[in-house]
């Protein structure tokens, strides 16, 4: 059985892997990748321009599954609410990354504020016997694979 501390270690280790991937993507650009190390940060990575303006934020969800195991992948509704509020205040772009370790794939979905292409629903970790929580479900058909 997997417990919260193991999940935290698993997620933090994968955050470092994805930081390297994002660093490669933005390497020869005018942007830099900032990694948010605070345990309760709203999004894990910020892409910052030469004027220190945050232009894109990424949230990583690490999953112990194959990328095609389910028709949708989910994240906490809290994260979507954060993106909506931040967009209203500051604009920018907001993307969600799923690192599926069983087949070593990264899937990406960028939220489009003009299009509701996700489903509000519920989700839970059955391994931890959690109560269902409000979640956002995104079809894997809408995701792009990031090759690394």
pLDDT above 60 for 144: yes
Total-model pTM: 0.90
pLDDT of amino acid 126: 65
The mean predicted confidence, pLDDT, of the chain is 92
pLDDT above 80 for 135: yes
Q: Which residue has the tokens 């942007």?
A: 31
Q: What is the pLDDT averaged over residues 127-142? A: 88
Dig out the tokens for 32 from the structure: 């830099």
pLDDT of amino acid 8: 77
pLDDT above 80 for 125: no
CA geometry: angle 46, 108, 89, nearest 5 deg: 40
Q: What is the pLDDT averaged over residues 119-138? A: 85
Q: What is the pLDDT averaged over residues 64-86? A: 96
Q: What is the pLDDT averaged over residues 81-92? A: 96
pLDDT above 80 for 39: no
Q: What is the pLDDT averaged over residues 109-121? A: 96
Q: Which residue has the tokens 């933005």?
A: 26
pLDDT band at 38 (very low <50, low <70, confident <90, very high): confident
pLDDT above 60 for 1: no
pLDDT above 80 for 30: yes
């Amino acid at each position: 059985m997997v417990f919260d501390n193991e999940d935290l270690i698993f997620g933090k280790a994968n955050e470092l892997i994805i930081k390297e991937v994002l660093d490669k993507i933005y390497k020869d650009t005018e942007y830099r990748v900032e990694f948010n190390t605070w345990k309760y940060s709203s999004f894990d990575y910020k892409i910052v321009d030469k004027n220190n303006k945050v232009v894109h934020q990424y949230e990583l969800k690490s999953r112990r599954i194959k990328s095609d195991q389910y028709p949708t992948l989910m994240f906490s509704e809290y994260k979507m609410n954060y993106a909506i509020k931040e967009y209203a205040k500051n604009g920018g772009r907001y993307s969600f990354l799923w690192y599926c370790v069983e087949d070593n794939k990264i899937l990406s979905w960028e939220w489009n504020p003009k299009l509701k292409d996700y489903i509000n629903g519920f989700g839970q970790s059955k391994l931890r016997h959690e109560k269902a929580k409000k979640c956002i479900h995104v079809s894997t058909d809408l995701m792009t694979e990031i090759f690394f």
